[in-house]
């Protein structure tokens, strides 16, 4: 893929799509393409996370030992894995295993943060998106709380 193809691809990735073309150009230039073979693990639950990955081609199973059977979900093209790792030090909450030959673009945290420093308008848009999602998550949690309260009676 060309640089322009990567920028256009990033424009269709949720979360990244708010950053603007100039900021996405920086990510496209600095990201690293990786081929992951079927059955290969991209990262394990509990690993330190220093980058996000965007699935360009293929599918990954996300799993953890915390849930019965371990399977959470299968994700594909355009999915951003490790979104929080782009912003702060964290650990991987799941294991990502390629279901088929897959290609990902690795975006290092240092690159992402440097891009935000250089594009404050992109940083403000990202902050707004995160604030809305955090608010939605809080409402969802409070929405199910009565179910747990009823079980305690």
Q: Across residues 33-41, what is the average pLDDT?
A: 97
**133: which residues sit within 8 A by CB, 6+ positions away?**
none
pTM: 0.86
Note whether residue 151 is domain-resident.
no
Residue 38 sits in which domain range?
Answer: 3-143
Note whether residue 22 is domain-resident.
yes
CATH number at 37 reads 2.60.120.10
Note whether residue 83 is domain-resident.
yes
Number of domains in the chain: 1
Closest CA to 101 of 39, 33, 9, 54: 39
List, for residues 96-119, the tens digit of each pLDDT value.
999 999 999 999 999 999 999 999
Lowest mean per-residue pLDDT among 22-26, 71-75, 106-110, 143-147: 143-147
Note whether residue 79 is domain-resident.
yes
| Sign of the dihedral through C-alpha 27, 48, 63, 147 | negative
Report whether pLDDT(68) > 60.
no
Q: What is the overall mean pLDDT for the chain?
A: 91
Note whether residue 148 is domain-resident.
no
User: What separation in angstroms does the CA of 115 have from each of 22, 32, 77, 88?
Assistant: 10, 15, 23, 14
Kindly state the tokens that stand for 42: 């991209």
Note whether residue 106 is domain-resident.
yes
How far apart, in whole angstroms, are the C-alpha atoms of residue 153 and residue 24?
A: 52
Q: Could you give the 3-state DSSP secondary structure of residue 19? A: coil
Note whether residue 80 is domain-resident.
yes
């Amino acid at each position: 893929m060309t640089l322009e193809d990567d920028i256009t691809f990033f424009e269709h990735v949720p979360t990244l799509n708010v950053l603007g073309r100039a900021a996405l150009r920086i990510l496209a230039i600095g990201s690293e393409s990786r081929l992951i073979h079927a059955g290969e693990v991209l990262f394990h639950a509990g690993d330190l996370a220093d980058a996000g990955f965007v699935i360009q081609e293929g599918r990954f199973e996300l799993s953890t030992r915390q849930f019965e059977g371990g399977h959470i979900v299968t994700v594909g093209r355009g999915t951003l894995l490790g979104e929080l790792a782009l912003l702060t030090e964290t650990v991987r909450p799941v294991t990502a295993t390629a279901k088929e030959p897959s290609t990902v673009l690795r975006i290092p945290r240092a690159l992402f943060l440097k891009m935000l420093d250089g594009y404050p308008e992109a940083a403000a848009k990202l902050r707004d998106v995160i604030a809305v999602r955090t608010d939605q998550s809080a409402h969802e949690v409070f929405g199910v709380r009565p179910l747990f309260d009823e079980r305690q009676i």
